A and B are shown apart, each in its own frame.
Chain A
Amino acid sequence: DTGVSQDPRHKITKRGQNVTFRCDPISEHNRLYWYRQTLGQGPEFLTYFQNEAQLEKSRLLSDRFSAERPKGSFSTLEIQRTEQGDSAMYLCASSLTRGLDNEQFFGPGTRLTVL
């Protein structure tokens, strides 16, 4: 257990529905990241926050995706009008700014299946 929690762990939804995932980072960590991982591949970066500011978004993050981190604590990732191609594991990670080191601690992930 890294101290990063994600909820839910599994989500099955029908195409076209909206889904929202939550991530609770390690409490003192100021950075929070979202990644997506498909079967047989490494995680791919989606977006990251420093405190409450969203500082970078990948072009993978279409306009159907939105992420928030109100008050710089937990974060939510929402996918609107889900498509079958959104089926993947969504991973959250957090880190503490410390020079150039960027050791990220990952949560267990939310596995999304879009039918």
Chain B
Amino acid sequence: SQQGEEDPQALSIQEGENATMNCSYKTSINNLQWYRQNSGRGLVHLILIRSNEREKHSGRLRVTLDTSKKSSSLLITASRAADTASYFCATDAQLKGEKLTFGTGTRLTIIP
């Protein structure tokens, strides 16, 4: 079963705007990761944030984590057409082994 939910399920923005998507999860975690998936393709790892971290940056990506609310957000700044994809958060739950549990994804469309 899915660990959590991404919100929104779909998002369309103009190129150059910022895109924010949110993820909620249910159990305590070791870390949370964000992945990108282009249509019909494999997943590309974007960023990992540990449970003791609150914010992390990588290029145009900014991830926040609030373990008290069991939620995370992914911000993509200055969006490009190539950012069009589905974005998934995945959690690695404490004491549950090393499997990742994915959310349902946000489908992001960047309009040129």
Contacts and interface: CB of A to CB of B under 8 A. Distances in A.
A85 interface: no
A108 B103 contact: no
A21 interface: no
Contacts of A102: 30-31, 33, 92, 98, 100
Interface string B71-104: 0000000000000000010101000011111111
Interface stretch (B13-21, B35-43, B54-62): B35-43
Contacts of A103: 33, 45, 48
Nearest to A109: B42
A62 to B, nearest CB: 16
Contacts of A72: none
B32 to A, nearest CB: 11
Interface of A: 2, 4, 31, 33, 35, 40-45, 48, 55-56, 58, 89, 91, 93, 95, 100-109, 111
Interface of B: 1-2, 30-31, 33, 35, 40-45, 48, 50, 88, 90, 92, 97-105
13 contacts: A2-B45, A41-B2, A42-B102, A43-B88, A55-B97, A58-B99, A95-B98, A100-B50, A101-B48, A101-B50, A102-B33, A103-B48, A106-B43
